[in-house]
Chains A and B, each alone.
Chain A
């Protein structure tokens, strides 16, 4: 007996070296896989950050603005309506001419005016409406620089390419340099980005409209998909008898998960827009389309969580005389909640990032106003990113990257919530 014992030991010892080598390789493969994934993630994040961080700052130019009575309210009526309808662009032009008195020719004045954003006149209008006593005074006002000036001041326009290929010509560069030397140009945090909707002017474009649109759409998606999916999964898993019909349903639900999302968009276009005449590009239609897309995700996650609840709990409840509905509602569903939440948030994250089906239902339109309700035309974050990415202006490149960063922050927050909620509910069981 001892002899066979020893030879086993010797044989094992001989193969031990090879087995340890396999162990080390196995670990190494795992580490390589993680590192590769991390590298790609870091490349993605750093490229987005490097392109996008400048969008969170905006250039402003300080000019001496004379709030001329003759321009704003020549007849001295003091009526707020007249004050609101005055042409403040003239004030901007005068301020620029005052700063650079040697600019005389019309074409040059036009180039000079192009350094200031068109939104500046709205800013001046708001100032006067708020404080009519400004009329007749000269104030140093920080005005928003135009998109091209903004790009130049951020260093995004290369100065060594020929003048005709640039959006800023040499004279404009000279003016901007002069302003910088005077300390009349500064960078400010771009609060506008988060408070206004889309705009043709890059320096005035913001994502607030897209954020509100996304929020409204997701609310509709959640309200529609969560109750229906959980109820369907509970029925299929707990209450129905297993026959060919439930098998058929299960196959179809799994198929729904595999259907490309744009098909749901086409379905939405055909039925909700053409047959039911729901408003185009509205969050309610987007929400219904995305809910259809999210059903299978939540149903499959719910079924898996229900299956994971130990049968002993069900038996105990049934043995006490609980009816099937009571067994599910009082015992099984509360224990399955962590898995259901995780599935729901995964489904919502996917819905948040979808653009193809929403393009089909009309969200490709250029929406400036912030949507006020579920039936107003709206845009969503991924579609906004797509629209800005399509725009050739250099100023929109940084906006696209910044919007992508905002979208990624939302996704990280949603997934972190999923992990936290899951941990919190798992403790009880």
Chain B
């Protein structure tokens, strides 16, 4: 049942109206006839424990290549924990146990033989609060390629830095001050610097943990534009509190609640005709 106009979800106490723009959502807008992109990452039966507390139960999720997958849900539902499972950042947390399989291109990343350092070069991460290193802007972006040995000459490094800053939409603003400290930029610029830093390593997947929650609306809009651009070359998984953002930016949405994956599907379908009543309740603002 493909609908042609913008849709408003109609329930008893509507507080929010979600407008889903048609157009670019091309393939996934039509039910059933979409050409599905290949599978990039898959999680099966993931359980996460913090000590005795179970934070996530039996999460099965497929992430497709060159798509933006949004993870939404109320505070404390486990979305950030899930995100951190995908690049093994939970390894650094004391008392955190991860069970189940998480595969990248078919290989289990929790296998003993996997080198975590190499994994994190393939899966980059952008954090909620911008955290540039207290080094120059140039060194911030150059750090990743340097430590992974991606370049052999200064020229190649310059090129990577310029390209990354361009892709992150930051180059024009900082072209003349590449050697000033990265911490001297505004919040939105710092977050774009962090994104540039992450893509300088040329990852395959980029994880974003609420990247815009510390930013003003204009900076947020720029970053959403950026995500849409980046989607062409990278697979992006974004955790967000902002449902409108999820609707604008993503092709697939997963709704988490109390550590359980309640619903997962095409963004348009999840927001217009959610199958689970918890999803409906969250989307319409009844809770969360």
Question: Which A residues contact B (CB, under 8 angstroms)?
Answer: 242, 312-313, 315-323, 326, 330-331, 335, 428-429
Contact = CB atoms under 8 A, between A and B. Distances in A.
Contact of A312 (B117, B121, B129): B129
Contact of A318 (B89, B133, B197, B198): B89
A320 B89 CA distance: 11
Contacts of B92: 315, 318
A313 B133 contact: yes
A332 to B, nearest CB: 11
Nearest to A310: B131
A316 B194 CA distance: 9
A321 B148 contact: yes
Contact of A331 (B87, B124, B133): B133
A326 B129 CA distance: 22
B140 to A, nearest CB: 9
Nearest to B183: A429
Interface of B: 87, 89, 92, 94, 117-121, 124-125, 127, 129, 131-134, 143-144, 147-148, 181, 194, 197-198, 201
B134 A320 contact: no
B120 A320 contact: yes
Given A315-B89, A428-B181, 4 more contacts: A320-B120, A320-B197, A323-B117, A335-B134
Nearest to A319: B125
A321 B134 contact: no
A312 B129 CA distance: 8
A242 B144 CA distance: 29
A320 B129 CA distance: 16
Nearest to A320: B144
22 contacts: A242-B94, A312-B129, A313-B131, A315-B127, A316-B131, A316-B132, A317-B133, A318-B120, A319-B89, A319-B125, A319-B198, A320-B121, A320-B198, A320-B201, A321-B117, A321-B118, A321-B120, A321-B121, A322-B147, A331-B133, A428-B181, A429-B134
Contacts of B132: 316
A151 B134 CA distance: 62
A323 B115 CA distance: 10
B88 to A, nearest CB: 10
Contacts of A312: 127, 129, 131
A331 B131 CA distance: 12
A247 to B, nearest CB: 14
A326 B147 contact: yes
Contacts of A330: 143, 147
Nearest to B144: A320
Contacts of A242: 94
A320 B94 contact: no
Given A331-B133, A428-B134, A429-B134, A320 B127 contact: no
A242 B124 CA distance: 28
A319 B134 contact: no
Contacts of B124: 319-320
A265 B285 CA distance: 72
Contacts of B94: 242
A349 B220 CA distance: 53
Given A322-B147, A326-B147, A315 B131 contact: yes
Contacts of A318: 89, 92, 120
Contacts of A331: 133
Contacts of B118: 321
Contacts of A323: 117
B143 to A, nearest CB: 7
A422 B200 CA distance: 34
A318 B120 CA distance: 8
A363 B52 CA distance: 60
Contacts of B131: 312-313, 315-316
A335 B133 CA distance: 10
Given A242-B94, A312-B127, A319 B120 contact: yes
A322 B124 CA distance: 12
A321 B207 CA distance: 13
Given A321-B144, A321-B148, A321-B201, A316 B127 contact: yes
A335 B135 CA distance: 11
